[in-house]
Chains A and B, each alone.
Chain A
Amino acid sequence: MPLDAMQDVTDEALLVLFANGEPAAARALTLRLTPKAFGHAARLLGNRAEAEDVAQEALLRLWRVAPEWRQGEAKVTTWLYRVVANLCTDRLRRSGRGVALDAVPEPEDEARGPLDKMQAEARADALQTALDGLPDRQRQAVVLRHIEGLANPEIAEIMEISVDAVESLTARGKRALSAALEGRREELGYADDG
């Protein structure tokens, strides 16, 4: 089955095809889910090499549970974000936190001038540094809500907490991030924005 024929197929249906041995489903799921797993791990860990290991491990676990996957019970991405977050938490606990921020490659953006691009990169890096300073659960909630763009009920399902608890975590996280970025306003060009 060609890959483009799978664009409209849900992750859950692809996983069933995967379990049935369909090679195209393996490729489609790899292309679709690896960036999500890796991106989330990179935000939570602030370390590219570790994020790659976590993403690979999380997806390996997904491949292994595919034959037992029960349709309609959970979204594949919800399951994946949860596994990624748990693996990241384990790593952070084992390493005792304080993981250095690796250089995260930026996608090419021809539409923006070099100065704008540098400023956006600096802001993204500063945000990542500020995120690294948050408690694990606050960081996870803020990343899922404001960077991955998920709705609070789905975040609640991923984190296995109530929607109220998600709102509380994101609110506290955002306050802490604002405070952390406060000292870098001029450096990051926020003063020029008015």
Chain B
Amino acid sequence: MPMMDEHKHSGELEAAFDAARSSQPEPSANLMARVLVDAQAVQAEQRVTPSARVPRGYMQQLLEALGGWPAVAGLSAAGVAGVWLGLGPMAGVSDAVASYLGMSVPPAYSVDVMPGAELGLAWEEGAL
């Protein structure tokens, strides 16, 4: 396209764009109403959603966070086991530490030559 023609065509195209800009398609009142109804409906939904939840106390939320009652039952069992382990003498505790803690320590050289004898005696005495 020669230079002069190109300028002329560019001017014509600009005139067409000007005409298009000055006659922008306007939305109908019906469309504006439809869009506004949608907007208000979505706003209403979004307002309802958070308040629709029943208010819950901290204990209820903690219970849910832990996984409900079954999880809490498991936790209780673990807690009881922990208490028992804590009160009983620890197998791995050295004699010196056990002694310091006030635990009775069997003499290191004693050998039980009749294992189960105490149990048998207790049985005979009707303690069991």
Contact = CB atoms under 8 A, between A and B. Distances in A.
Contacts of A42: 25
Given A23-B43, A39-B24, A185-B12, A55 B19 contact: no
Contacts of B27: 34-35, 38-39, 52, 55
A11 B17 CA distance: 27
A110 interface: no
B64 interface: no
Interface residues of A, number: 51
Contacts of A18: 39, 43
Given A120-B19, A193-B12, A63 B25 contact: no
B58 to A, nearest CB: 26
A126 interface: yes
Contacts of A63: 38-39, 42-43
Given A104-B23, A106-B23, A190 B42 contact: no
A107 interface: yes
Contact of B47 (A21, A39, A120): A21
B19 A105 contact: no
A147 to B, nearest CB: 5
Interface string A119-136: 011011011101000000
A174 interface: yes
Taking chain B's interface residues, is the majority helix, strand, or loop, or is none over half, making it mixed?
A: helix
A29 interface: yes
A52 B42 contact: no
Contacts of A27: 36, 39
Interface stretch (A2-10, A155-163, A176-184): A176-184
A64 B10 CA distance: 42
Contacts of B32: 30-31, 34
Max count, chain A CB within 10 A of own CB: residue among B25, B32, B42: B25
Interface string B20-36: 11111111101110111
B25 A43 contact: yes
Contact of A174 (B13, B23, B25, B34): B13
Contact of A38 (B12, B21, B31, B47): B31
Contacts of B105: none
A29 B39 contact: yes
A178 B38 contact: no
B40 interface: yes
A34 B20 CA distance: 18
A1 interface: no
B25 A51 contact: yes
Contacts of A109: 22
12 contacts: A21-B46, A27-B36, A35-B26, A39-B25, A43-B25, A60-B35, A60-B38, A123-B15, A127-B17, A147-B17, A147-B21, A181-B16
Q: Closest 6 CB pairs between A and B?
A: A123-B19, A63-B42, A42-B25, A26-B39, A38-B27, A127-B16
